[in-house]
């Protein structure tokens, strides 16, 4: 899992830049081929080392196809139709994110884990056929610029080190990655053909949209990580039930994204914040339909009317010759926001959990307290046969969980303020 996330994020900017330079259709197709070949390697691997290496190769393939898929759509539709097209893309992304794990789980349960990877092969074949027949090339400037090798290497190692530091809780590596990214900014400012033209960020809309993305996806990342822990370890859900709890969110994203392409992106984060606040009020026990379901509906509605307009704003704020790198930047921002949220909010939750445990375990027998203290790093997953200690563990976790959700609510509200101040609410002019 980490190998895929690490290399996907590390190569995202490079993948978007290559599409702008050499053709998005070409780089997207290469990404599909790399992903398919890596999938075959995953399915046929005979050791953990082979599987990890193949998963890393999958990440590189994904980094080539993910930003260029959006850039192809952006370049294939005129401005007045782009919002709905991007909304359709966003909706199908949401529904396949739900179907994929379910289908993969069924294949693992009834066949072999290898088939979860082999499933990608016929899908890739269909995609390549569609590319050959129906997808036009949209890149417009590859012959003018040269590949920015210094910028490419700095982003690969910089983003890779930051992601590795967050995933592995290795601050020195993360700091090194941050320094490499600072060096990247200085190099790009002096490059004749920069991979990431810094003037992009002079656009208030582009900067504001990426700021909104960072804040909102940090809030969403916290929910996607900590809500299942609450449902399984405190509320007693099975892992399948915990996954199914997100279905209202996913279905609303799928059903509404296509129609939200032209909506204001300022209101959506506030609606999402309302959904997060509903989750923050959750205690111990209660029916799914009265605790989680209403929050998922409101959160799904908020994200559905935000994501497509937000993505449209990002793609509309740059020249279409830079659509690939613009898509890659926005994608990298969202992924780093989610990783950073898990790392930071994990510290917040653990801190509140420890403080609550210190306060509550005073009246628990000494031997029970010592046994629970030895498992504090498991949070609500700590095991004990003492009913009072078990209740203390659950209530301590819920206290930390609520703090994380209220903080996430504030992030979502801040993203709405950023959108109001920075993102221009004007229709883009028709392009020649």
Mean pLDDT of 417-429: 71
Tokens in use for 251? 């279905």
152 Cβ contact partners less than 8 Å away, ≥ 6 residues apart: 13, 14, 17, 195
Whether the pLDDT of residue 428 is over 50: the answer is no
Torsion over CA: 78, 84, 88, 89 (sign): positive
Residue 17: its pLDDT value, please?
92
Whether the pLDDT of residue 99 is over 90: the answer is no
Residue 161: its pLDDT value, please?
95
Whether the pLDDT of residue 29 is over 90: the answer is yes
Asked whether 263 and 309 are in contact (CB, 8 A), the reply is: yes
Highest-pLDDT range among 136-140, 222-226, 253-257: 222-226
pLDDT tens for each residue of 315-337: 988 888 889 999 999 999 999 99
Tokens in use for 271? 């609606």
Phi-psi region of 249 (alpha: psi -120 to 50; beta: other; left: phi over 0): alpha
Residue 418 CA to residue 432 CA, distance in Å, equals 31
Whether the pLDDT of residue 426 is over 60: the answer is no
Higher-pLDDT residue of 260 and 168 is 168
Mean pLDDT of 219-242: 92
């Amino acid at each position: 899992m980490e190998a895929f996330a690490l290399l996907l994020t590390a190569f995202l900017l490079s993948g978007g830049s290559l599409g702008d330079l050499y053709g998005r259709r070409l780089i997207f197709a290469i990404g599909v081929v790399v992903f398919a070949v890596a999938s075959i390697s995953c399915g046929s691997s005979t050791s953990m080392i082979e599987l990890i290496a193949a998963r890393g190769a999958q990440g590189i393939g994904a980094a080539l196809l993910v930003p260029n898929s959006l850039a192809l759509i952006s370049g294939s539709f005129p401005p007045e139709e782009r919002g709905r097209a991007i909304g359709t893309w966003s909706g199908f992304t949401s529904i396949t994110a739900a179907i994929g794990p379910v289908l993969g789980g069924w294949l693992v349960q009834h066949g072999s884990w290898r088939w979860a990877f082999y499933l990608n092969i016929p899908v890739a074949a269909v995609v390549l056929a569609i590319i050959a027949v129906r997808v036009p090339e949209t890149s417009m400037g590859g012959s003018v610029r040269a590949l920015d090798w210094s910028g490419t290497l700095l982003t690969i190692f910089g983003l890779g080190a930051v992601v590795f530091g967050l995933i592995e809780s290795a601050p020195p590596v993360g700091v090194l990655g941050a320094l490499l990214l600072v060096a990247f900014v200085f190099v790009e400012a002096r490059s004749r053909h920069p991979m990431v033209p810094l003037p992009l960020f002079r656009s208030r809309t582009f900067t504001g949209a990426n700021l909104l993305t960072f804040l909102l996806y940090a809030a969403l990342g916290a929910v996607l990580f900590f809500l299942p822990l609450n449902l399984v370890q405190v509320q007693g859900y099975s892992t399948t039930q915990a996954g199914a709890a997100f279905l209202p969110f996913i279905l609303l994203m799928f059903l509404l994204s296509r129609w939200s392409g032209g909506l204001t992106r300022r209101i959506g984060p506030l609606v999402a914040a309302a959904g997060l606040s509903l989750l923050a009020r959750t205690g111990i026990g209660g029916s799914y339909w009265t605790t989680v379901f209403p929050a998922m509906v409101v959160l799904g509605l908020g994200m559905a009317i935000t994501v497509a307009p937000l993505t449209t704003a990002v793609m509309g704020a740059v020249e279409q010759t830079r659509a690939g790198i613009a898509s890659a930047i926005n994608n990298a921002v969202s992924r780093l926001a989610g990783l950073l949220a898990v790392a930071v909010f994990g510290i917040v939750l653990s801190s509140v959990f420890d403080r609550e445990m210190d306060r509550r375990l005073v009246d628990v027998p000494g031997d029970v307290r010592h046994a629970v203290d030895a498992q504090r790093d498991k949070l609500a997953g700590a095991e004990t046969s003492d009913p009072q200690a078990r209740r203390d563990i659950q209530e301590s976790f819920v206290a930390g969980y609520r703090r994380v959700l209220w903080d996430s609510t504030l992030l979502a509200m801040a993203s709405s303020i950023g959108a109001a101040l920075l993102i221009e609410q004007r229709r883009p002019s028709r392009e020649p």
